[in-house]
């Protein structure tokens, strides 16, 4: 994630990094700029956040409405709690694929190095994804 010389930081409202990459987010403009190791979310040039979860590239993502971005060492999660949507990119094995996660009611996402936990406090539920052996499977707890 060392060379950010091509990033326009003028309207950036939030920056999130993981062990290998960064995301600079312009929440008002709905634009995300990524750099670093493309396998871990550093290339966001062809993903559209307005539709579904994608792997390692997020440059075509529509960040409109994204209120928070979370990361672990290998992937990112963008959350739009108001519109009940979340999107992931990066290493799918470690959380870069959240297509099975229902973001309805999710207000917070937590991470360890290899997995994510999405909390829905009003429902009293949590959903985990990523590497099952290190926190990516919490199905026995719900």
Three-class secondary structure of residue 46 per DSSP:
coil
User: What is the per-residue pLDDT for 5?
Assistant: 86
Beta carbons within 8 Å of 51's beta carbon, 6+ residues apart: none
pLDDT of the chain along its 142 residues, tens only?
577 888 888 988 888 888 888 988 887 777 788 888 888 888 876 654 443 333 455 666 677 888 889 999 999 999 988 888 898 888 999 999 999 999 999 999 999 999 999 999 999 999 999 999 999 999 888 5
Measured CA to CA, the distance from residue 41 to residue 19 in angstroms comes to 10
Give residue-wise pLDDT tens across range 72-95: 999 999 998 888 889 888 899 999
């Amino acid at each position: 994630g060392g060379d950010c010389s091509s990033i326009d930081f003028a309207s950036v409202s939030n920056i999130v990094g993981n062990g290998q990459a960064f995301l600079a987010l312009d929440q008002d403009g709905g634009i995300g700029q990524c750099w670093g190791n493309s396998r871990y979310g550093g290339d966001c040039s062809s993903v559209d956040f307005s539709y579904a979860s994608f792997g390692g590239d997020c440059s075509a993502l529509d960040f409109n409405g994204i209120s928070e971005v979370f990361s672990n060492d290998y992937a990112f999660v963008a959350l739009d709690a108001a519109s009940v949507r979340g999107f992931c990119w990066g290493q799918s094995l470690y959380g870069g694929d959240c297509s099975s996660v229902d973001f309805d009611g999710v207000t917070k996402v937590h991470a360890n190095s290899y997995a994510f936990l999405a909390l829905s406090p009003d429902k009293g539920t949590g959903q985990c994804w990523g590497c099952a052996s290190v926190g990516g499977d919490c199905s026995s707890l719900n």
